[in-house]
Amino acid sequence: MTYHFLGDSGLLVSKLGLGTFMSDESKYEGDFWYTLMTLAYKHGVNFFDCAEGYGSGDKGVAEAFRQDYVDVIFCHRSDPNTPIEETVRAMNFVIEQGWAFYWGASEWSSAHIIEACEIADRLGLIRPVVEQPQYNILERSRVDFDLVNLYQKYKLGLTTWSPLSMGILTGKYSNGKPGGSRYTSPMFKEGWLAEWFAENVEIAGKLIPIAEELGCSSAQMSIAWAVSNENVSTVLLGASRPEQLEETLKAIEVESKITPELKEKIDGIVKFVPKLPEVDPLALTRSRYLMAFLKIIYAYA
């Protein structure tokens, strides 16, 4: 395993980390995660991404891990109903209490990160040191476009998720949808999701010969591609079986094979078209619920 500093912090993190989000959490209990985390740790992984909501958790993450603190606390999605300054102050309060060493953003736009950093500098508070965006061969806009000016300006680190685009870049869907996969869901049978799936599965199929030339799996090549970006601090892996994790952890051995020439070959198949950040649909949903709640309060006031 190789390691990077996490942004401008003193945390040395493994280039591969383990994420603990699962689409169907009912199948995975504590013993499963103990096995997976132990396996990752034995391979040099020291970055584990978790959340209070993962696994239907109802206790604080630090308490669940029997720790007094976490190294990094992420503020997941910027809240449109809360001033950025209030969020910055809240994250600094958490750090001052000793509950976390650093804080970061997750799925924040570059504009909100800049605002948070400027507020922190003005008030003598701690900046966010890291952002957590999606990044893979099929989705590059956040890392390679929206955030690109922040790596040098603010020494921003990145912990990226979905390096396999929810499994599509493994190539396993090129011959159909395996039974039990998320893509057998009715929501992927018609409409824009079905079109998105079909289009990207076709692209993933064209990448398989490149991986074969490297002597590795499509999954390993795709993960190594993400790791090779010098601005990425750690790439979060997911797995539903220990065997999957064993395979994807070997991607670190493929990183040296991701040459500029190979990236050009990949770019020839997957055209990178930068896209401006879209409005966060979850933020809009929260806003609607808040307005509905306020109307109820006013009605009974």
| Domains defined for the chain, CATH in brackets | 3-170+217-300 (3.20.20.100)
Among 3, 28, 54, 69, the active-site one is 54
Of all helices (H) and strands (E), which one includes residue 76? strand 70-76
Q: Tokens 């009715």 correspond to what residue?
A: 186
Among 103-112, 149-158, 178-187, 217-226, the minimum mean pLDDT is found in 178-187
Mean pLDDT of 203-218: 96
Beta bridge partners of residue 48, listed in sequence order: 18
Per residue in 1-35, pLDDT (tens digit) is 999 999 999 999 999 999 987 645 556 566 888 89
For residue 61, pLDDT over 50 is answered with yes
SS3 call for 134: strand
pLDDT of residue 137: 98
| Residue 300 appears among annotated catalytic residues | no
CA distances from 78 to 69, 255, 265 (A): 23, 33, 36
pLDDT for 23 equals 46
Are 77 and 283 in contact by the 8 Å Cβ rule? The answer is yes
Q: Taking each helix axis from N to C terminus, what angle separates 218-227 and 192-214, rounded to the nearest 10 degrees?
A: 90
- Position 176 scores a pLDDT of 57
Q: What is the pLDDT of residues 89-138, one digit of tens each?
A: 999 999 999 999 999 999 999 999 999 999 999 999 999 999 999 999 99
Name residues whose C-beta falls within 8 Å of residue 163's C-beta, 6 or more positions apart in sequence: 135, 136, 169, 222, 223, 226, 235, 236, 237
- The predicted pLDDT at position 215 comes to 96
User: Over the chain, what is the mean pLDDT?
Assistant: 85
What pLDDT was estimated at residue 183? 54
Amino acid at residue number 113: I
Residue 150's pLDDT is what?
Answer: 97
pTM: 0.84
Q: How far apart are CA 221 and CA 223, in angstroms?
A: 6
Q: Which residues pair with 130 in a beta bridge?
A: 157
